Structure 1
Amino acid sequence: MPNYRRNRIPGGTYFFTVNLLERKSSLLIEHIAELREAVRVIREKQPFHIDAWVVLPDHMHAIWTLPAGDDQYSNRWRAIKKAFSKAIPKTEYRSAIRIKRHERGIWQRRFWEHTIIDDADYVAHMDYIHYNPVKHGWAVTVKDWPYSSFHRLVKMDIYPLNWAGLDLPLLEVGEPEN
């Protein structure tokens, strides 16, 4: 079994990509209420700040800042995935290995994480998250996508409502390997 090394900085700010196992699924937006509830429950138990989040049909990106002294983002993702999985009907295909391990066939096992290193990195990843629905063809403009922290950030005067992401640097964000 490979030894995955994660960068862990207590109180750090991290960018994440979390994928469904079935990349053609729209499970995340079909069950957005269950996803939101799973995140709410886990944040009550294991607090973290949501800097940004976008939920697409088959994957999501987020930036979190953890509390001082805390680097346990993996435990939070595990708990969110588990709570979401328990909240939705069992309709997915499960391989023999997933059945043996008592796993649902919903999530890719791994997720991609990047430690935010400075203000420029933070801004680039914030913009990447909010432009993602347009990049993938799910929305014509950033403001059209309802499953994003963009709308909250507009209310906070961080982004203008008509922000289009047209000046974005080419930020290539990796995907987890299977």
Structure 2
Amino acid sequence: MPDYRRNRVPGGTYFFTVNLLERRSCLLVQHIDAFREAVRQVRARRPFHIDAWVVLPDHTHCIWTLPPGDTDYSARWKAIKIAFAKSLPKTERLSAVRVRKGERGIWQRRFWEHTIRDERDYAAHVNYVHINPFKHGLVRQVNAWPYSSFHRFVTAGIYPNDWAGEAPDLVTGERDA
């Protein structure tokens, strides 16, 4: 069995990528309200701050900051995945292994996590979260993607509404040359 080592910093800020099992699926945007409700339910029981988030058809990228002293992002992701899966009808194809383990065939079992190291790392990951719909060819302008915290950043004056590609430095507010 693989040895998955997770970095755990109490009250840390983390970047995540979480994928659906079927990478050609559109479940996350087709059922965006159910996904949002799953996140709301988990945050009500196990709070965390959402720094940035984008939901794409088949995966999501986000940055969370956990409460002081807390390192348990894995339990939060497990609860979000379960709540979302329970909200959907059982129509997915299941492997024999998933049937035997009583699992749904919606999410990949693992997720990718990166501990944010400093302000520059934070800025780079926030930009990565927000550029993703453009990067994947889902929109011609980042502001056209509705399932993103990008709009909150525009309202706060961090990004211009027409931002795409030329990332402002979130530390200094200056544009890259």
TM norm. shorter chain > 0.5: yes
- Is 2:41 aligned against 1:57? no
How far is the alpha carbon of 1:89 from its aligned partner? 1.0
**Contact residue 52 and residue 149 of structure 2 kept, 8 A:** yes
The secondary structure found in structure 2 opposite 1:108 is coil
How many residue pairs end up in the alignment? 169
The match for 1:112 is: 112
Task: List structure 1 runs of 4+ shifted beyond 2 angstroms.
Answer: 165-169
How far is the alpha carbon of 1:19 from its aligned partner? 0.2
Over aligned residue pairs, what C-alpha RMSD do you find? Answer: 1.2
The secondary structure found in structure 2 opposite 1:114 is strand
Percentage of matched positions with identical amino acids: 66
**Contact residue 124 and residue 168 of structure 1 kept, 8 A:** no
TM-score, with structure 2 as normaliser? 0.93
The match for 1:40 is: 40
- Listed as ranges, the matches of 1:20-169 within 5 Å are 20-167=20-167
Unmatched runs of 5 consecutive residues or more in structure 2: 170-177
Unmatched runs of 5 consecutive residues or more in structure 1: 170-178
How far is the alpha carbon of 1:68 from its aligned partner? 0.1
How far is the alpha carbon of 1:167 from its aligned partner? 4.5
**Contact residue 26 and residue 57 of structure 1 kept, 8 A:** yes
The match for 1:11 is: 11
How far is the alpha carbon of 1:2 from its aligned partner? 1.2
CA–CA separation in structure 2 for the residues paired with 1:47 and 1:167: 30
CA–CA separation in structure 2 for the residues paired with 1:60 and 1:20: 9
CA–CA separation in structure 2 for the residues paired with 1:79 and 1:10: 20
